[in-house]
């Protein structure tokens, strides 16, 4: 068994895709020898997610709805956040939603494609009056007060995992990342800021993260702020290539100069996919309110 890097649910290593959310299992499935060809899974983006807002659910109704004990239902309700019940076709998702409603819960149906919309990475930024001007590879975006309805932030755990042929782990640690997603009221992909790869110019606080918090506090007044991702157990998957910001290029050059042969063969893992899935589900539910 292994955890899906997108939704965090436990799935069999022999599967190519997560049973619950349809995400590819990546290196988890590659670690197990292929026993037999598995039928191709339905296209994940054509699926519909059945979600529950745990903060608005009672343990007495959660227990039978999710087929868990009252104790586990109490822990889920106390943790809060968005819970993925199932990812299925539109007809299957509607049938599951009806079952959940009959047991006293209030499920929300969301297209998979909406949750997994690729964010727009922002590499630079500056304050502009009461708002923000962010720059990405696609151009600049100006955010005025009231444009953002949800701000999701959380830590990104990063570590090395040795490739199978070496069976060794790197002793060099990786800095913990910090991501912020800004969900706008207008239908558009979220804006994403990586504190390790974001230029703020002169920062009086001396910290990019503290400067970001100051900016966002002023420019997103009235927007809901969510930091619940920090309370979830991290589910790691292969890290994707980062956009080429100036800070990252300089850091990568220094790291490459000091990297050993063992590090060159190491695979970098992080829980960025888990953060994006969490943020996307939260925004989809919040938008429907």
- DSSP state letter for 197: G
At residue 50, φ and ψ (nearest 5 deg) are -105, 115
Tally DSSP H helices, then E strands, for the chain. 9, 15
Task: State both tokens at 108.
Answer: 């929300």
Virtual CA dihedral for 157, 137, 146, 84, nearest 10 degrees?
A: -40
Q: Please report the domains of the chain, with CATH numbers, ordered by start residue.
A: 2-115 (3.30.1390), 120-287 (no CATH)
Name the E strands within the chain: 2-3, 10-11, 48-53, 82-88, 108-111, 120-128, 131-136, 139-143, 148-156, 158-162, 177-184, 191-194, 224-226, 237-238, 266-270
3 touches 9 (CB < 8 A): yes
44 touches 4 (CB < 8 A): no
pLDDT by residue for the chain (289 residues), tens only, comes to 566 766 666 666 566 667 556 666 654 433 333 334 444 455 655 899 999 999 888 999 999 999 999 999 999 998 888 999 999 999 999 999 999 999 999 999 999 999 999 999 999 988 888 888 899 888 899 888 899 999 999 999 988 876 655 555 555 668 789 999 999 998 889 999 998 888 876 666 667 788 888 888 888 888 999 999 998 899 988 888 876 655 554 445 445 444 454 454 568 899 999 999 999 999 999 999 8
- DSSP state letter for 10: E
Residue 241 burial by Cβ neighbours in a 10 Å radius (0-12, 13-18, 19+):
exposed
For residue 185, the tally of other CB atoms under 10 A from its CB is 12
Question: pTM of the entire structure?
Answer: 0.75
- pLDDT of 248 reads 52
- pLDDT of 246 reads 53
- SS3 (DSSP) at 181: strand
- pLDDT of 136 reads 87
């Amino acid at each position: 068994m292994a955890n899906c890097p997108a939704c965090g649910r436990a799935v069999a290593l022999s599967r190519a895709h997560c049973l619950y959310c349809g995400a590819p299992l990546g290196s988890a499935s590659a670690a197990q020898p292929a026993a037999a060809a598995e039928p191709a899974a339905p296209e994940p983006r054509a699926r519909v997610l059945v979600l529950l807002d745990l903060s608005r659910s009672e343990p007495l109704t959660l227990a039978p709805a999710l087929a868990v004990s009252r104790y586990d239902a109490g822990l889920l309700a106390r943790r809060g956040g968005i819970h993925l019940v199932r990812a299925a076709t539109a007809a299957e998702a509607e049938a599951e939603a009806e079952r959940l409603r009959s047991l006293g819960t209030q499920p929300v149906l969301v297209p998979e494609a909406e949750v997994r919309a690729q964010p727009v990475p922002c590499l630079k930024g500056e304050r502009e009056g009461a708002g923000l001007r962010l720059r990405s590879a696609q151009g600049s975006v100006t955010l005025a007060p009231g444009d953002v309805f949800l701000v999701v932030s959380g830590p990104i755990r990063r570590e090395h995992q040795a490739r199978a042929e070496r069976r060794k782990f790197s002793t060099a640690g990786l800095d913990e990342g910090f991501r912020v997603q800004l969900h706008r009221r207008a239908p558009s992909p979220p804006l994403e800021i990586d504190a390790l790869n974001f230029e703020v110019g002169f920062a009086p606080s001396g910290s990019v993260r503290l400067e970001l918090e100051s900016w966002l506090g002023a420019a997103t007044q009235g927007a809901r702020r969510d930091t619940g991702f920090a309370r979830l157990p991290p589910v790691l998957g292969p890290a994707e290539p980062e956009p080429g910001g100036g800070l990252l290029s300089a850091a990568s050059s220094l790291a490459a100069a000091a990297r050993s042969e063992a590090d060159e063969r190491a695979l970098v893992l992080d829980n960025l996919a888990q953060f994006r899935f969490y943020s996307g589900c939260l925004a989809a539910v919040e938008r429907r309110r």
